[in-house]
A and B are shown apart, each in its own frame.
Chain A
Amino acid sequence: ETAVFQTPNYHVTQVGNEVSFNCKQTLGHDTMYWYKQDSKKLLKIMFSYNNKQLIVNETVPRRFSPQSSDKAHLNLRIKSVEPEDSAVYLCATGAGNTLYFGEGSRLIVV
C-alpha cells in the first residue's frame, strides 16, 4: 500500500533547465528524505528534513534544493540540470529507523 507519492514518475529535459519533483506522504511521519539512485543502483542520501530543520549531505551540488510547505510535503528542485543528474530520485519518510519509499522519479538529462 503506497503512502509516499512522487510526481512526475519520469521527466526528460535538456541541460541547463530547471526541474522540480514533488513528494507527499500520508503516514504522518516527522522526517522526510531525498535519495539519489544512480544507474548502478547505488543509493545515496541527499537531504533530511525534520521540523524545519534541513540536513544536507555535503556532497550534494548547490543546484539541488529541497522545498517544504508542511511536514507532509518535501519537494526537490534542481536549478540548472547537468548530465550527471540523470538518475532516479527517491523520496522517503521515516519513523524510528525504518524508511518508507516512494516509487521514484526518473530524470533523464539530454
Chain B
Amino acid sequence: GDSVTQTEGQVALSEEDFLTIHCNYSASGYPTLFWYVQYPGEGPQLLFRASRDKEKGSSRGFEATYDKGTTSFHLRKASVQESDSAVYYCALSDSFASALTFGSGTKVIPCLP
C-alpha cells in the first residue's frame, strides 16, 4: 500500500538555523502531497499541498517541491523561529476513502542560539 517515510523523531536546532525535514513517499498513481503542522494541544492543520510534479507549496516561510523522480517532498525553512516548535507531518492522499496517509511525524525543537 501507499506509505510515507519522513525524518524520524525530533530535530533540535538553533533559532535562525536552516531546517530540512526529509519526506519520501511510495504510491501507485499520482498522489497529492501535503505538509501538516501540529502545535501542542491542537489538531494537525494544513501547512500546504502540491498536486503535480515540480509544483512548489509554501506557507509561513516553509516550502517543499513535489519531485516525482525522487518521490520526495522535503520540507525546508531558511530561518527557524521559536514559534515553529511543533510536530510536522508529511502526508499523501490515499485510495482509502479519500483519507490521508501520514508519515511518522517530526518534532522540531528550536533552541536559543
Tell whether A pairs with B.
yes
Stretch from A13-21, A41-49, A65-73, A77-85 that touches the partner: A41-49
The smallest beta-carbon distance between B45 and chain A, in angstroms, is: 7
Number of A-B residue pairs, CB cutoff 8 Å, is 63
Cα A55 to Cα B42 with chains together (Å) = 26
* Tally of chain A residues near chain B (CB < 8 A): 23
Stretch from B61-69, B75-83, B101-109 that touches the partner: B101-109
| CB contact between A43 and one of B41, B44, B97 (< 8 Å): that residue | B44
| A43-B99 in contact given A97-B32, A98-B46, A103-B41 (Cβ < 8 Å) | no
Which residues of chain A from 70 to 110 have a CB within 8 Å of any chain B CB?
90, 92, 94, 97-104
Cβ B96 vs Cβ A48 within 8 A: yes
What is the interface of chain B, defined by CB distance below 8 A to chain A? 32, 34, 38, 41-46, 49, 87, 89, 93-94, 96-102, 104-105, 107
